[in-house]
Amino acid sequence: MGDVDEMLHRSGRTARAAVGRLEDSTALDGPAEVVRRVAQAVLRPRTVSAVLRGVPAGHAAHPPLTDVPIGLWFSASALDLLAPVTGRRAADRLVGLGVLAAAPTALSGLADWETSERRDPAVRRVGVVHGVANLAALGLYTTSWVLRRRGHRAAGVLVGLAGGTFLGVGGYLGGHLALVRHAPHHDPLATTTVERVATGVRRTTTRGPATDAFEGVPLDETKRSTTDHGEIRTWIEAQGGRPALIPPLGPHEVPVPAAIFPSGPSGSGAVPATWQEWFDAFDRGGLAFVRPAQLTQAPPFFELAQA
């Protein structure tokens, strides 16, 4: 049993190392930028964005949708191999249904990726490869369906099996994104809290020493914005602050990130939290951290806005 356990662990380490190389590959950032532009165009209509992100379901739509084309396509391959004569008509229909089901599945995955890739470069890069693998699978299964319809059944079956290979790679990377990288980071029902923060009703205000600890993205001449976890933590700690959370007001809201400074908490009702809890709430709310460009005269403060 010891040899078997070691073999299994070695296999897992090899697979994780391969994905780690994808996570670190800056060469994928260029293609990711192209995908981001496509995603922003597709998700521009608010209703489309809400549906694809899973608002009607109460959680991300992509994970359960993936079961549909995967189940249909692998069932078709099973019939191709185990019942090549009696199951051929059912197999052909399953392939076609899988092609139809792949469209909403891919679009919901694009929505999840667009939400998370801004905060996690690893999600950005692995997500691109995940999408390419699944698109390759879709292309092969579509070709398989066309070949079957034209009477080239043997070729259609082989092309479908090739599609299953790409589907397996895409599924593995999707599992890594969900279980290891915890993507998507956004809670689709966190809109109430986000809107309240974005409009300033629950703005967090600091009163620490005037320290400019990092450079963010300029909003105007007075404020800078970032979603980078390291920069946010550096800035808050430079003011002598510690992470805190304001408890949610309702069951469908997430806690509001705040901070406790030497002069007091940055928000009413803030309670101490870990940085992990702080950034979990920050990511789930889809927030951006806004702080003054310079802290020279007015008391320093930070705000949370919709990213």
DSSP string, 126-166: HHHHHHHHHHHHHHHHHHHHHHHHTT-HHHHHHHHHHHHHH
What gap in Å lies between CA 85 and CA 100, rounded to an integer? Answer: 24
Q: Is the dihedral of CA 80, 85, 90, 92 positive or negative?
A: positive
What gap in Å lies between CA 23 and CA 159, rounded to an integer? Answer: 30
The long-range contacts involving 74-80, CB below 8 angstroms and separated by at least 24 positions, are: 74/164, 74/167, 76/160, 77/160, 77/161, 77/164, 80/157, 80/160, 80/161
Per-residue pLDDT, averaged over 19-45, amounts to 91
More confident residue, 249 or 168: 168
Q: Which of 28-42, 194-208, 218-232 has the lowest mean pLDDT?
A: 194-208
| Upper half-sphere CA count for residue 206 (Cβ side, 13 Å) | 30
Helical ranges in the chain per DSSP H: 2-24, 29-42, 46-53, 62-82, 88-116, 121-149, 153-179, 191-198, 229-238, 275-284
51 pLDDT above the threshold of 50 = yes
Cα-based distances in Å from 233 to 209, 226, 258, 298: 15, 11, 12, 21
Residue 265, pLDDT score: 61
pLDDT band at 295 (very low <50, low <70, confident <90, very high): low
More confident residue, 67 or 188: 67
Residue 221, pLDDT score: 56
9 pLDDT above the threshold of 90 = no
195 pLDDT above the threshold of 90 = no
207 pLDDT above the threshold of 60 = no
Render pLDDT for 146-161 as a digit per residue (tens, 0 to 9): 999 999 999 999 999 9
201 pLDDT above the threshold of 60 = no
Residue 120, pLDDT score: 78
With beta carbons less than 8 A apart as the criterion, state whether 273 and 244 touch: yes
pLDDT band at 235 (very low <50, low <70, confident <90, very high): confident
pLDDT band at 85 (very low <50, low <70, confident <90, very high): very high
Tokens for 201?
Answer: 């009703």
What gap in Å lies between CA 118 and CA 195, rounded to an integer? Answer: 20
What gap in Å lies between CA 142 and CA 200, rounded to an integer? Answer: 49
What gap in Å lies between CA 13 and CA 34, rounded to an integer? Answer: 31
For 80, other C-beta atoms within 10 Å of its C-beta total 24
Residue 176, pLDDT score: 93
pLDDT band at 255 (very low <50, low <70, confident <90, very high): confident
pLDDT band at 307 (very low <50, low <70, confident <90, very high): low
pLDDT band at 145 (very low <50, low <70, confident <90, very high): very high
